[in-house]
Amino acid sequence: MTAVSDVCARVAQAAIFEPLSEGGPCFYEVATRGSFYSEGEEVDPVVLIARAAKGDIAAQREISDMALHLALSGAENVDPFVTLSEGLMTARMAASQGQAPDEMRVVVMLSLASFWTTGESAADLTGEALARLELLADGDNAYSEPAAQLLAAYADREPAEYLERAKLYRARLVETE
């Protein structure tokens, strides 16, 4: 069995429990404030998926945030891994449009998904999360410094397999920019 990533564990903990700013909401609270969360408002999933497929970043964010919320809801009939995996599709689409908060959403979802799987799947999810976190750390955005600090504090504890996969994912992500 593959060990849980220290970096992913820290990202997940911060996303769920730590405020983004003094006295403010945590990432999870911000991510789950989409229109699907508004009382009385129904979302037509067919329309939302069609909008997301056409590149509508708001729809991509909404679907991924719905998946994040549902995965962490504790609902009996929800498989968190499957739900996060499905939400990652649109989260990655949104992140491909180049905004740091969307990239961080993917890192959070990958980190959480890595807890609900093992072996190759866990190594792939963790490798991608580490690569995306490295790219955030290298950028000029609100997540650069926290990402760099997180990697500096925990990356040396990561299994070599995770770090090797991170290199591969990083190369692939840079190639597609």
Q: Is residue 65 part of a domain?
A: yes
CB neighbours of 121 closer than 8 A, spacing ≥ 6? none
Q: 24-42 pLDDT, tens per residue? A: 656 566 555 544 444 455 6
Q: 45-89 pLDDT, tens per residue? A: 889 899 999 999 999 998 998 898 888 888 889 899 999 999 999
> Domain span at residue 145?
6-176
Q: In the predicted model, what is the mean pLDDT of the chain?
A: 84
Q: Is residue 1 part of a domain?
A: no
CB neighbours of 52 closer than 8 A, spacing ≥ 6? 59, 60, 62, 63, 90, 93
Number of structural domains (the chain) is 1
Q: Is residue 71 part of a domain?
A: yes
The model carries a pTM of: 0.84
3-state secondary structure of 73: coil
Q: Is residue 130 part of a domain?
A: yes
More confident residue, 17 or 123: 123
Q: Is residue 93 part of a domain?
A: yes
